[in-house]
Amino acid sequence: MEFFKQEDLHKDLARYITNVNGIGKCLKHPLVFSIPYDKIMNSYLNKIYKYKLELLKGPVKYTNIFLYERPFRWTTLYSMKEKLDTTSYWTAFKDVWVDSENISECIDTIKKLMVYKKHGKIAKKILIDKSIDNISGEKIVIYRGSQNNELGHGFSWSTDKEKALWFANRFSRNGKLFTGEVLKKDIFAYILDRGESEIIVDYRKVMIHT
């Protein structure tokens, strides 16, 4: 097959081959991942890389972020921040958040993005699901499941206690459930996309129950 014909890996990709314990050689280029990596895939990986490069030559748009592998999407959004209008910026923020797994690894970049543009009407329309109005009162009870003793110092919470418990125990039974309250006006985002009833909020604004 053409994809498996013998050829050298593109020099841009070759620089990103690393050895990972328990896996062996892996390719972790911002645009192309192969875990594990095998040289038999060179032609296929080269084609993906060249295809993405061609797409990136076009107009700057927030969907270009998803040409990059997940670990590089937050830094890519940060590099594009000045070129995106407000609607595209906050749409990109929400979409990258929803598709992320390890928020804590990029939290410093995320914090900068959270304050780069005004969290005004446009942002709130994109980030805060309107169903939040169905929750009565000025305060909302929220939950966070954690695998470490972080004292609830995280930005991702949920209005769904069972979902938070799932996160607390998904890797081991030693997780911890945090319960807190937050004022509606302090909520940065309320996202239902993954069925997690997720609240994004600065933990310093959460009144954690002890």
How do the pLDDT tens digits run along the chain, 210 residues long? 565 678 999 999 999 999 999 999 999 999 999 999 999 999 999 999 999 999 999 899 999 999 999 999 999 999 999 999 999 999 999 999 999 988 888 999 999 999 999 999 999 999 999 999 999 999 999 999 988 766 678 899 999 999 999 998 888 778 899 999 999 999 999 999 988 999 999 999 999 986
Quick one: how far is CA 129 from the chain centroid?
18
Whether 188 and 147 have beta carbons less than 8 Å apart is answered as: no
Whether 30 and 72 have beta carbons less than 8 Å apart is answered as: yes
Q: Where are the domains of the chain?
A: 7-58, 60-127, 129-208
Q: How far apart are alpha carbons 126 and 134 in whole angstroms?
A: 17
156-158: strand order across its sheet: 189-191, 198-200, 156-158, 139-146, 176-183, 207-208
Instruction: List CB contacts of 111: < 8 A, sequence separation 6 or more.
Output: none
In the block, residue with structure tokens 């543009």? 117
Phi/psi for 157 (5° steps) reads: -130, 180
Quick one: how far is CA 176 from the chain centroid?
22
Number of alpha helices (DSSP H) and beta strands (DSSP E) in the chain = 7, 9
Give the largest CA-CA distance in the chain.
65
To the nearest 10 degrees (0 to 180), the angle between helices 107-116 and 73-80 is: 30
Phi/psi for 95 (5° steps) reads: -65, -40
What pLDDT sits at residue 205?
Answer: 95
Please give the model's pTM, rounded to 2 decimal places: 0.90
In the block, residue with structure tokens 């990972």? 20
Whether 62 and 94 have beta carbons less than 8 Å apart is answered as: no
